[in-house]
Amino acid sequence: MYSKISKKGGGTLSNEGISRKKGFFYELKRKKILFMMLIPAMVFFALNSYLPMVGIYYAFTKFNFQGGLFKSPFVGMDNFRFLFESGKLKQLTINTVGYNVVFILSANILEVFFAILLSRVVGRMFKKVSQSIIFLPYFISYVVLNAVVFAILNCDSGYINTMLVSLGAERFDFYGTPWVWRIILVLCYLWKNVGYGTVVYLAAITGISEEYYEAARIDGANIIQQITRITIPLLVPTFVILLIFAVGGIMRGQFDLFYQVIRNNGVLFEATDILDTYVYRSLKQNFDVGMGTAAGLYQSVFGLIIIMLTNGLVKKLNPDYALF
């Protein structure tokens, strides 16, 4: 839409040449107010994120309390060994990335789909009530969800098994069957998060100018056409943002979901173990700052590589959607 508009704010060509030479301070002076408006964010991220980032150094030390961050002995890559030598890193990486990909895709498709339906359906009351309902699960912690999932799936008195038995079928041992959890975990994730994402898309749809639809209607477009030709293309920037955020954290699993719902059931691990649960299990008994940081660093580097690739790809397709 606006990519065609010339970048007026950047000034004329000659002006740009000067600003490049004069650099930062020239810009600072010219855009004083904008810079000032950035101060809260700068302070926030400096304190909350960048200063604590020195802690990454923990990953390379054998921590002790007297030495603290900088005087504990340097051990190189030793803290990474519990990841790399576990023989599970490949499986864990595949699981983590795999689940996240499925989460991202299925959630976004459903969210866009329902956001569109909700934005178009008539009946204010219906709209309000249903929106509230699909949003509510976001408040439920996975600890509580675990109790509900257990109530539904357990072998002896679970809803599903009671039903199967009354239908004369065999009981199904959910908690002893790894593969079904690939589906159940995705359902749990969707249950909790679809409402949240739907709100994001709904807000984006609300921001679309009515004029476009007006024009389309005049051209004789039906509802489906309006949706596919106007709404969906205009949701792409929002989708890209959600995607980029999800992709950056692709090595970080939904720890609470996996940990609370599966608990310590080793039988299911081959299908349900992700990097976060593995690290937690390994370190829970004796929290080691060095190893914990090392695991985090692995996730970060992996995420950074993936995100660089994704952003590059987005940039190639449409530079306007790229994040940076």
Partner 1 sequence: MKKESLKKLLAIGLTMTIAISSMMGCGNTQESSEDAGNEVREETSEDSNETIASENPVEEGSSVDLSEQVNVVIYVTGSEPDHFDKIREKLNELTMRDLNCTVDYNFFNSSDTQQKYMMLLSSGEQIDLIYSGNWLNYSSYAMRGAFEPIEDLVKEYSPKIYDYIGTAGWDSAKVNGTAYMIPCLWKEYNLFSITYREDLRKKHDLPVPDSVENIEKYLQGIKDNEPDIMPTLEGVQTAVANLGSYFRAIEVFDSKYNWVDWRMPYGIYIDYDDPSQTYNYWESDNFREDMKIMKRWADAGFWSRDALSSDENPEDVMLSGKSAAQLGVAGIGSGVMYTDRAKENDPNTEMEFVSIPYCYGKQRSVSVAPTQNGISVPITAQHADRAIALYEKILFDEEYFNLIMYGIEGEDYNVVDGKYESIPGGYGREASRLWCARTDEMYMPTIADEKGIEMKEQIAKYEGPNKVGGFVEDYTPYQIERTALMDVVTQYLIPIQAGMVEDVDAAIDDFLEKARAAGLEKVQAGYLEQYEAYVESMDNWSSWSE
Partner 2 sequence: MKISTEKIIFNMVSYLLIIILSAFCIFPLLLILSGSFTDNLVLTREGYHLIPVKFSLEAYRTVFEYPQKLVTAYGNTIMVTAVGTILGIICVSMTGYVLMRRDFKYRNRVSFLIYFTTIFGGGMVPWYVLLSKYLHLTNTYAARIFPSLMSPFLIILMRTFMQSSVPEELIDSCKVDGANDFTIYSRIVMPIITPAIATVGLFLAIGFWNEWYLTSLFISKKELYSLQYFLYDVLDNINFAKEMAAITGQPATNLPTETVKMAMVVVVIGPIIFLYPFVQKYFVSGITIGAVKG
Q: Which of residues 166-225 bind partner 1 (CB under 8 A)?
A: 173-176
Residue 178 touches partner 2, criterion: CB under 8 A: no
Q: Nearest 5°: phi and psi at 74?
A: -80, 130
User: Which option in partner 2, partner 1, none does residue 283 bind, with CB closer than 5 to 8 A by kind?
Assistant: partner 1
**Closest separation in Å from C-beta 166 to partner 1:** 16
Which span sits near partner 2 by CB under 8 A: 5-13, 80-88, 94-102, 170-178?
5-13
Applying the rule CB under 8 A, the residues between 32 and 61 that interact with partner 2 are: 33-34, 37-38, 40-41, 44-45, 47-56, 58
**Torsion-angle region of residue 168: left (phi > 0), alpha (psi -120 to 50) or beta?**
left
DSSP labels, 254-268:
-HHHHHHHHTT-GGG
User: Which option in partner 1, partner 2, none does residue 296 bind, with CB closer than 5 to 8 A by kind?
Assistant: partner 2
Which residues, in sequence order, are bridge partners of residue 74?
61
Which span sits near partner 1 by CB under 8 A: 65-73, 130-138, 185-193, 207-215?
65-73
Contacting residue, 117, 169, 183, 313, with partner 2 by CB under 8 A:
117
Compute the residue count for the chain. Answer: 324
Of the candidates 91, 260, 253, 269, the residue with the CA atom closest to the CA atom of residue 178: 269
| Cα angle, residue 106 at apex, residues 188 and 116 outer, rounded to 5° | 110
Applying the rule CB under 8 A, the residues between 228 and 287 that interact with partner 1 are: 262-269, 273, 278, 281-287
| Cα angle, residue 223 at apex, residues 220 and 226 outer, rounded to 5° | 75
DSSP class of residue 63? -
Of the candidates 119, 240, 138, the residue with the CA atom closest to the CA atom of residue 190: 138
User: Which option in partner 2, partner 1, none does residue 88 bind, with CB closer than 5 to 8 A by kind?
Assistant: partner 1
Applying the rule CB under 8 A, the residues between 56 and 95 that interact with partner 2 are: 56, 58, 69
- What is the C-alpha to C-alpha distance for residues 66 and 303, in angstroms, rounded to an integer? 33
Applying the rule CB under 8 A, the residues between 210 and 229 that interact with partner 2 are: 210-212, 222-224
**Closest separation in Å from C-beta 303 to partner 1:** 16
- What is the C-alpha to C-alpha distance for residues 63 and 209, in angstroms, rounded to an integer? 57
Q: Nearest 5°: phi and psi at 186?
A: -65, -40
Distances (CA, A) of 236 to 21, 112, 230, 250: 37, 10, 11, 20
The burial of 95, by beta-carbon neighbours within 10 Å (0-12 exposed, 13-18 middle, 19 or more buried), is given as buried
Beta carbons of 161 and 154 less than 8 angstroms apart: yes
User: Which option in partner 2, partner 1, none does residue 202 bind, with CB closer than 5 to 8 A by kind?
Assistant: partner 2
User: Which option in partner 2, partner 1, none does residue 238 bind, with CB closer than 5 to 8 A by kind?
Assistant: partner 2
State which residue, 40 or 87, has the beta carbon closest to partner 1. Answer: 87
Residue 309 touches partner 2, criterion: CB under 8 A: no
Applying the rule CB under 8 A, the residues between 229 and 268 that interact with partner 2 are: 234, 237-238, 241, 244-245, 248-249
| Cα angle, residue 35 at apex, residues 29 and 36 outer, rounded to 5° | 105
State which residue, 230 or 283, has the beta carbon closest to partner 1. Answer: 283
State which residue, 54 or 309, has the beta carbon closest to partner 1. Answer: 54
**Binding interface with partner 1 (CB under 8 A):** 46, 50-54, 62-71, 78, 81-82, 85-88, 146-147, 150, 154-156, 173-176, 262-269, 273, 278, 281-289, 291
